[in-house]
Chains A and B, each alone.
Chain A
Amino acid sequence: MTATSQWRKYSRVLVIGVQNTLVYRANFLFRASISLIPLLGTLQVWRTIYGDQAPGSLVGGYSLSAMISYYLIVNVIDALTAVADDDWEVAADIRDGKISQFLLRPIDYLTYRLCLYLSGRAIYTTVALIPVTLFTLWLRQDFVWPGHGLTYLLFGIAVFMGGLIQFLIAYLVALLAFWFLDVSTLIFIQFAFEYIASGHLFPLDLLPPALQTAISLTPYPYLSYFPASVYLERLSQSQLVFGFLVESSWLIVAYAVARWAWSRGLRRYTAVGG
């Protein structure tokens, strides 16, 4: 099959994905807005912590502005990349035997899912842009912008690869549905690790060194902490190069494992209900 016909096929999937998720735009707007409230609470707590120190002092190497910007930028990254219902849908497709139709047609399930993820994220980000921008503007006094133009490009690349890794991790956990009847607990357990080890809750360099080392051996920091550090220009040149090398290696590993797990899983697949 030629590249153009491949492209036409999957661009249809993208369009369908956009149409399907547009239905939920009001829901997205609500979700994006309400998630800002706990964030506001966390920021207030940090402000109080800084307020008790001498003015202008650093906490864990972060100024107040850097700390607030960290949370705001992680919030933006989250809107851009968070996996919404993709893992639940993949698990349900396997459990209910719905993947049989993909096995019979010239369509690749992983690519199909990736298209749906990308279109879903595109819509969510567009909708979430409204409350997130307003929120960021409101806190603009403490929001730092990068000093170099190049930073935006590097940030974009780091977020994009991080998003793909996040998608592949979610996809992999969902594939466990080939082996287990109910994977919802596994999805939540994975999510708990992701929540803390990605740097969503706090910048990871606030942790004791031993824990930092342990976390740096996982792909999780590349989901939020690494892109945010790129944005805040906290990394030296060699740290940047090393970070991007490790991030792309994780992406390749995650992709390879996802392919492998799919083919292993299919051997166990019994096409329930099909």
Chain B
Amino acid sequence: MKTAHYYWTIYLALWRNSVTREMQFKVNFLLWIVVELLWFALQLAFMQVLYSQTESIGGWTRWQVILLVGISNLIQQLFTAIFLTNVNDLSEHVRTGKLDFMLLLPVNTRFLISLRKVDLGSFINASFAGVVIAYAGLQLGLHPTIAQFLGFALVCVAGISVHYSIMFLLATIAFSTVRAQGILTGYYNLFNIARLPDGAFRRGTFKAVFTFVLPMLLVANVPAKTLMGFPSAPGQIALLLAMSAVCFVVSELFWRWSLKRYTSASS
């Protein structure tokens, strides 16, 4: 309990620093929100174009897919807000030797590395995604029960955790190569798959890989199905929770193993 309080205090201090930092460049802060809004609009436009040609894709209707795109964006933005810059910075900490300093601090190093900075603009972008989700939900006439809503929140957290664990795992590769940056950008590319309805994919290698190895097809699809009350939802929820646990454990084991072999870049 005392530890939890300790870490909470640290996290609040990190938040304060981030707010101060971001408010130094206000115009830039707003422009980045515009950039993200444009890309979000672009994804929605793509789906609109697809649905101008067909009524349904693999059983998914237009508003169901728009709900899915909204949810995928919500998860991606929250991940960006809390983790992205931090995970990206890891290879830089290794290269400059700053990691040595962090290892000496009386706090869990992974905690510090993962949560150092908060990207505030992404919270605002997440709220735009929330608006799209709400609007699509109204169009679909959804009336989620409290249990459904809590389940939705839970699987969203699991989805964010999947992105975080995999990205952290890839960033840990920075210990053995300086090229980790390219790998991270590559993984970020795969976020594109998360907003496609899984009904569009037949059984095959593609679906298997992106369900059981890099669970991109679960991350946003499962929250969407939970909110819409698909009959398959309970099993899928269990699967996503299990996958997010597996991803986290694997990334933690690899992190510890890498730290043991770490010989520092400086000195």
A residues within 8 Å of B by Cβ?
Answer: 26-27, 30-31, 34-35, 37-38, 40-42, 44-45, 48-49, 52-53, 59-60, 182, 185-186, 188-189, 192-193, 195-196, 201-202, 206-208
Contact = CB atoms under 8 A, between A and B. Distances in A.
Nearest to A195: B42
Interface stretch (B44-52, B110-118, B126-134): B44-52
Contacts of A45: 50, 57, 196-197, 200
B106 interface: no
A30 B182 contact: yes
A207 B193 contact: no
Contacts of B196: 41-42, 44-45
A53 B55 CA distance: 10
A196 B34 contact: no
Given A40-B206, A52-B54, A201-B42, A189 B35 contact: yes
B192 A41 contact: yes
Pairs of residues from A and B, 4 with the lowest C-beta to C-beta distance, nearest first: A185-B31, A38-B192, A34-B186, A192-B38
A207 B52 CA distance: 8
A195 B192 CA distance: 14
B182 A31 contact: yes
A228 to B, nearest CB: 16
B267 interface: no
Contacts, number: 86
A49 B57 contact: yes
A82 to B, nearest CB: 14
Given A34-B186, A201-B42, A207 B49 contact: yes
A182 B182 CA distance: 23
Nearest to B214: A37
A40 B202 CA distance: 13
28 contacts: A30-B183, A31-B186, A37-B190, A37-B193, A38-B189, A38-B193, A40-B206, A41-B193, A41-B206, A44-B196, A44-B206, A45-B197, A48-B200, A49-B54, A49-B57, A52-B56, A52-B57, A59-B53, A59-B54, A182-B25, A185-B31, A185-B35, A189-B31, A189-B38, A192-B35, A195-B42, A196-B42, A208-B52
Contact of A202 (B25, B49, B190, B199): B49
B257 interface: no
B189 A192 contact: no
A15 B190 CA distance: 34
B52 A206 contact: yes
Contacts of B39: 192
Given A30-B186, A44-B201, A185-B31, A49 B193 contact: no
Contact of B53 (A60, A185, A189, A208): A60
A37 B42 CA distance: 19
B215 to A, nearest CB: 14
Nearest to A60: B53
Contact of B190 (A30, A38, A42, A193): A38
B16 interface: no
A195 B56 CA distance: 25
B190 to A, nearest CB: 6
B43 to A, nearest CB: 9
B48 to A, nearest CB: 9
A44 B193 CA distance: 11
Nearest to B207: A44
A177 to B, nearest CB: 14
Interface string B177-211: 00100110110011011001101111000100000
Contacts of B35: 185, 188-189, 192
Given A30-B182, A44-B201, A185-B31, A49 B192 contact: no
Nearest to A50: B54
